[in-house]
Amino acid sequence: MCRKAKEIAANLGRELPSRNLIDYVSVLLVVREHGPIGRPSISRILGLGDKRTRNILARLRATGLIESSRAGAIVTESAARLLEGVDCLHRNSYTIALLLCSDWGPEFVARNIIALRDAIVIALSDPRVLEVIGWLDADSLVLPGVTTGLAEKYRALVSAATCPGQCLVGLFRASSTCYRCCASLLHAASTL
């Protein structure tokens, strides 16, 4: 169990439909990164329809996770605290998703790599996007089943990322930051 993923899923699941977890987390990540941001920009970044985005924002506002003004939506302090330990970065045509999972370890990730991969691929509906899943801590990046040459390439990409402990890491091929990819990693971790 990844406590952080379970906490976010449980917190959102109390107030929001759990089947929409990826969309809600994606919107929260975009608003945290770009806020204040308007609905049309959120729709464009995530590829969601205007009505869907409006409904998600209304629900997130009703649960106290975002605030809206004429300038756009911003995350509240409670949303910022909830998302601590979740990061979504873009570097060299890759999105790097980081999720604090100090209660896991590299052995757990290696044993469950197929389940994590399958959950992410099903959520994204595109098996070509996910490149690799691994484990990052202060000393090392563990990538089960990855050759030494590829591991060095991924280490160079992840070197810019900081993890406040031990993190599950996912690398996704994307021309811009893929917030849905980051949310799908969180969703997959919440299911184990």
Q: What is the pLDDT of residue 164?
A: 79
Average pLDDT value for residue range 96-100 = 95
* Alpha carbon 2 to its chain's center: 13
Three-class SS state of 163 = coil
pLDDT digits (tens, 9 = 90+) for 33-43: 999 999 999 99
User: What is the residue whose two structure tokens read 């052995």?
Assistant: 107
The pLDDT of residue 89 is above 90: yes
The pLDDT of residue 190 is above 80: yes
Three-class SS state of 69 = strand
DSSP alpha helices (H): ranges in 19-93? Answer: 21-34, 39-46, 50-62, 77-82
| Angle of the 50-62 helix axis to the 39-46 helix axis, nearest 10 | 120
**pTM exceeds 0.85 for this model:** yes
